[in-house]
Amino acid sequence: MNRTILIVDDEPHLRTLIQQTLEELEDEGVELLMATNGEEALATIQSARPALVFLDVMMPKLSGFDVCARAKKQLGFDDVYIVLLTAKGQELDRQKGQDAGADLYMTKPFDPDALLDKARAVLGL
């Protein structure tokens, strides 16, 4: 059973926040991976094929929408559960996220517990 979670955000604080939120899952055999930009994220998705990705939208060069669309549509990784995290609570973005094939769309600031619950649900813990 694949228990890898990829955390993608260009803001170091937010990577730390998500990592600390999810770190209690490490006791249950979950591996946490990090990526600091879109390209790195795409490479990691390809090589590690995580079960779950928490993906920031607003990143320089390759945005979260792009990463999501490439993973889901070009690589055909439909089994990778992708949660888009965005700081723009705009309906247009929600639509873009859907178009990119994201499984879930969460608005910042998110509740750490909600993130943890989601991770448990997706990984079946």
Partner 1 sequence: MFINDVQEEYSQYVSRYEDAPQPLEDGSMSKAPQSLIYLPLEVKDRVLGLITVQSFEKGAYTDRDLSVLQSLAAYTAVALDNAAAYRRLNEHEAEIRRLFEEAQTARAAAEEADAAKSAFLSTVSHELRTPLTSVLGFAKIIKKRLDERVFPLVPRDDARVSRTVDQVADNLAVVVSEGERLTKLIDDVLDLAKIEAGKLEWHMEAVTVADVLERATAATSSLFDQKGLTLIKEVAPGLPAITGDRDRLIQVVINLISNAVKFTDTGAVTCRAERRGDDIVVSIIDTGLGITPADLPKVFERFKQVGDTLTDKPKGTGLGLPICREIVEHHGGQVWAESELGRGSTFAFSLPIGVSPLATTGQTPVELASLIRQLRDRVIVTAPTKSDRRARILVVDDEANIRELLTQEFTEAGYQVATAINGQEAIAAARRDRPDLIVLDVMMPGMNGFDAAAVLKNDPETAGIPIVILSIVQDRERGFRVGVDRYLTKPIDTDLLFREVGALLEQRTSHKRVLVVDEDASTVKTLADVLTSRGYTVSEAHGDDLVEKARALRPDIILLNSVESATSDAVQMLRFEKGMDNVLFLVYQ
Output the CA torsion sign for 90, 38, 79, 77.
positive
Nearest approach, Cβ of residue 37 and partner 1 (Å): 16
Shortest Å, Cβ 110 to partner 1 = 7
Q: What angle do CA 119, 37, 92 make, to 5 degrees?
A: 70
Give the nearer residue to partner 1 in terms of CB position, either 37 or 107: 107
The residue whose two tokens read 């992708």 is: 82
For the CB of residue 22, give the shortest distance to partner 1 in the complex, in Å: 11
Q: Which is nearer to partner 1, 29 or 112 (CB)?
A: 112
Pick between residue 12 and residue 29 the one whose CB is nearest to partner 1. Answer: 12
Q: What is the CA radius of gyration of the chain?
A: 13
Comparison of 11 and 78: residue with beta carbon closer to partner 1: 11
Rounded least distance, CB 47 to partner 1, Å: 28
Q: Which residues bind partner 1 (CB under 8 A)?
A: 11, 13-14, 17, 20-21, 58, 87-91, 107-113
Q: Identity (one letter) of the amino acid at 61?
A: K
- Please give the backbone phi and psi of residue 76, each rounded to the nearest 5 degrees, phi first: 70, 25
Report the DSSP pairing between strands 31-35 and 104-107.
unpaired
